[in-house]
Structure 1
């Protein structure tokens, strides 16, 4: 029987929320528009939403499931005739859908001979909403009347400018100091990347005004002073990053006055004196769930610089993929960087049946690190261990106890996804990987994850249970062994405090942190790395993601904290609870105003605030298959976070920020239509 082209098969998906005592249902309808009947096939779908194979499915059986990938098998002997529809109703999901991106974002038909036919797929509709779906960044138009004379985000510490002068055609930069010259070169690279045709930097022959860059030892490393006079502009700073940030401010003032001359002016006199209120102003990006190419990462670095953000937390591994070249273990990228039908990792989160994915070569990483450094950005790589290691374990199975029996599952639905802390092979591999990473990332800060280890992790491993008896007690080891094949985290990440898993993880983290410290590195971790209080607090920091209360409590215990609560600073969370908004909302929803006005140290004592490193936004990439969804979820919330990290709380103003936000660049330039 000839196989149909993908245009001849159409999949429609519908979400029916629970109403009037009726259970919810997720309905998939495969329509055969071909001239021939279809038989001997299965339907494969993936998207953020996860089908529970143990639950009720009508019209099909679940023949394979890995996290968010599901293969549906039709009844035996089933034939989908010409013009007919196969309907599958799912009544078992890991969570009820809330947004249009929760449903399937890719689908295909698979045949017994291994061939596939990709299906065009529309976003999942809801029977309770027919509002047009939102994609692209929310519009923040500059109003006719603005509350400030100049356009700057984040807002500086001190702005005292007056009068208006004709807008310069652009700027030519005059610098003698080595750091000033480097900043001038970096700024030209930056504006060429973000605003190539605007000509912010140009020659005197094109009418440019000279900006004199002067070294001033009395300013901090990220501080600057801009002075405006009728015929001269002077920028003072103590080093390259301060000069760069001063030029970014100057560029923002110029663009505002050029694009909206009725609202903003270019000052003829006065000064701007500025420095950040927080040292750590960061963005985390998960590149495991979705892959972002080198060009995308470089553009993102430019966007961060324009927002005066100075840390990039690069989440390079997770259950779904491994994204960094490691010479000692080529299988990590050969196996872990690719997804597709018939591969070790199936299509996940919108992947197609064709081999898709990618990884960063060492050459690409060195180039990105150097590029970011030009802009004052330090990069922190993350290898997420000991959990979230499904892809790593497929590439290096020796990291699992060969005698391990049974299964445990992560909150994302991955089985047996933790590397074994009782095996010497584990430490050999991890230390080799980190030794190679340290050579690539000169900031010498390595994030090791340590989040969301399942309560039942290693409960079937004789090696781990033996180790647990020596670390804790026979009683704790016996209790842990009873967790084998018990599904624990069906409604959220396990709290493993005091469990056998926590004892084993603590021992693992202590050893890894000692190794990193021996190499001169600071160790980063998610807040779960605090289990057991075993890591050296003087050589580590934690990213606290649950809430500010947990962050404050960890600060009390002596940990340095980067605040990134999921309810507000997770940029994969939808802007609003409506179906037509993309993203997730398991932690809540947060629009730009909520993020802007949020106090990351609300309720903290002065002693606790001494442990604050800073703040960062986190992009988890499950819903980001569509890059217009990326722009909607990230912008202008990223700039709102940047102003929280830079501007003194007493100088913040939502009214001002809202008036200026539309001038900030997007990564993909995809605006809501």
Structure 2
């Protein structure tokens, strides 16, 4: 077997200065004893070069979204120990953070073979700060310095603790009937998140007796905990309330056990609690990065520990189709995989090898069932009509055969939108949605509707004729007509249509059977609420968890919406300054985890935690009960997903 040459790609970003443009430099080094020739260099980076980019000392051969292929000068040979340097100023956006640069690379040869390359994190000229990964470990205050005597996130509505005593070794939950299910779910949750802590223990091992009592007058997610020296009782109206009460007890116990001189366990008094908002969610983009069923299910458990109750599962996008559809197996046979020579090229941290995956129907059923036990409603999203490149590549007959020309969204993939004037599209959507409705019992079904670009469908005779008929100019009325037809199908099947805020364009969809996720700005969300749309707040400036934690180059993440550290995320108040009429349409809050920059799991842990918990507290805790200092003192006790912590 041939030995692979040892190759390294180092990349550098230099800011514009002294009349010179910003440049992105690449340096390929051959550290082997093998000569390399007749190759092209393929690299992948979140920051795109222009469609017709020019390179010094290289020629652009192909650019497909975030995938770039360049060739050295004719006859170039990379000798052992040799280097090949090239650079470009043709950037769609300046790099702001180290994760903006190339995160995967390989060499490709005419015979179809490839050789992997080690891609070194991009450096900023003049900046040598250590690059950051992993969750920032907020320190727990020392003895007597904590802002609260117990550790709970989100903070409850009313904490009336009368005394603190000895901390029990664990909790011995005693329950029968319907309450027994909540006790079992909590035991599994605690064991999964903190396997060595032994939060659940029998009385024989020092467990404090905990009973679950039924209080029919409580709202579904509310609970009350009554503390006594030798016993604790959780009062709730049903499963969600009992589970949340037990989570609160588990957090109190864990804080007191781990930091006994800072936090304690109550021996008298009570906690009375209920959420501020009914919608407390997190979105997860599994198209740009694929997360296994095990990862998704563990993430659901972390959501439950934070009392989040909506999981917005972003199952499709341009870069990957992630859900099994029996009627159209090509969607996953083709659209779920990326790699060299495949219809979808390598993207977002993946190299030449075939990479990706999808969720079988059985995996989805298991995940939805788990979520239900955790008091989480799973809201599926199939993103249409835009962001449909993976679907169209898999099913090319979805495109109008007479369409000409190309249109792009932010120089992404060409012609990536389902055509509202092409009838086969509706047969596809209704058949595909029909299968999904059987998998997802949620009353809400999200249809995307974001980021259809100007120029969409202008090359389609069918679309031009439809637009002329409905009096449209550009894509907005066409999209609105498409969405109203799709919404009618969902409404007939008893579902509320969810969409991103662009679904209000062109006349919008039926407000009575819809909600919108507001993401561009607080002002747009307020305006839409004033028009009568029900709104879930997810402003990119604060609740998009792919945005970096800070402005520094050393922080990973995206930057188009700015940056938002944990404190900025925590202190943001949804609906602030809204009228009472607008606030009546504010359903709640939602974190959005977009995955373009989450190219390794340590970056995921840094960007998502503890900001996910900060949003959870805003969704649960009344505004006048929030405290950044208190939250910060407890954030270090919260779990992250992969166990990566910043040093």
What's the TM-score bracket when you normalise by the shorter of the two chains?
Answer: over 0.9
Q: 2:117 aligns with which of 102, 116, 119?
A: 119
CA contact (8 A) 2:51 2:411 kept: no
Shift of 1:128: 2.5
Shift of 1:430: 0.5
Q: TM-score, normalised by structure 1?
A: 0.95
Worse-matched range after superposition: 388-397 or 165-174:
165-174
- Give 1:450's aligned residue: 449
- Structure 1 gaps, min length 5: 477-498
- Give 2:89's aligned residue: 91
1:619 and 2:593 aligned: yes
Partners of 2:99 and 2:566 lie apart in 1 by 20
1:61 and 2:35 aligned: no
Question: What CA deviation, in whole Å up to 9, does each residue of 1:553-604 have, x standing for no partner?
Answer: 0011110000000000000000111100000111011001111111111221
1:163 and 2:158 aligned: no
- Give 1:501's aligned residue: 475
Question: What CA deviation, in whole Å up to 9, does each residue of 1:619-659 have, x standing for no partner?
Answer: 10011111100110011111110110000000011110110
Secondary structure of the equivalent of 1:500? coil
Partners of 2:53 and 2:60 lie apart in 1 by 10
Q: TM-score, normalised by structure 2?
A: 0.98
Where does 1:120-519 land on structure 2 (aligned, <5 Å)? 120-144=118-142, 145-178=145-178, 180-472=179-471, 499-519=473-493
CA RMSD, aligned part only?
1.1
1:579 and 2:578 aligned: no
- Give 1:495's aligned residue: none
Partners of 2:56 and 2:415 lie apart in 1 by 29
Pairs aligned (count): 645
Secondary structure of the equivalent of 2:163? strand
CA contact (8 A) 2:53 2:60 kept: no
Secondary structure of the equivalent of 1:431? helix
CA contact (8 A) 1:636 1:664 kept: yes
CA contact (8 A) 1:444 1:521 kept: yes
Partners of 1:375 and 1:127 lie apart in 2 by 48
CA contact (8 A) 1:172 1:201 kept: yes
- Structure 2 gaps, min length 5: none
CA contact (8 A) 1:37 1:81 kept: yes
Shift of 1:412: 4.9
CA contact (8 A) 2:403 2:461 kept: yes
Partners of 1:20 and 1:242 lie apart in 2 by 62
Secondary structure of the equivalent of 2:262? coil
Partners of 1:412 and 1:226 lie apart in 2 by 55
CA contact (8 A) 1:411 1:452 kept: no
Shift of 1:164: 2.1
CA contact (8 A) 1:53 1:62 kept: no
- Give 2:645's aligned residue: 671
Partners of 2:511 and 2:3 lie apart in 1 by 61
Partners of 1:164 and 1:33 lie apart in 2 by 63
Partners of 2:2 and 2:504 lie apart in 1 by 55
- Give 2:535's aligned residue: 561
Where does 1:5-84 land on structure 2 (aligned, <5 Å)? 5-6=4-5, 8-84=6-82
Worse-matched range after superposition: 17-26 or 62-71:
17-26
Shift of 1:98: 0.3
Partners of 1:532 and 1:417 lie apart in 2 by 20
1:597 and 2:571 aligned: yes
CA contact (8 A) 2:170 2:201 kept: yes
CA contact (8 A) 2:477 2:507 kept: no
CA contact (8 A) 1:177 1:214 kept: no
Shift of 1:522: 0.7
CA contact (8 A) 2:98 2:131 kept: yes
Partners of 1:175 and 1:374 lie apart in 2 by 16
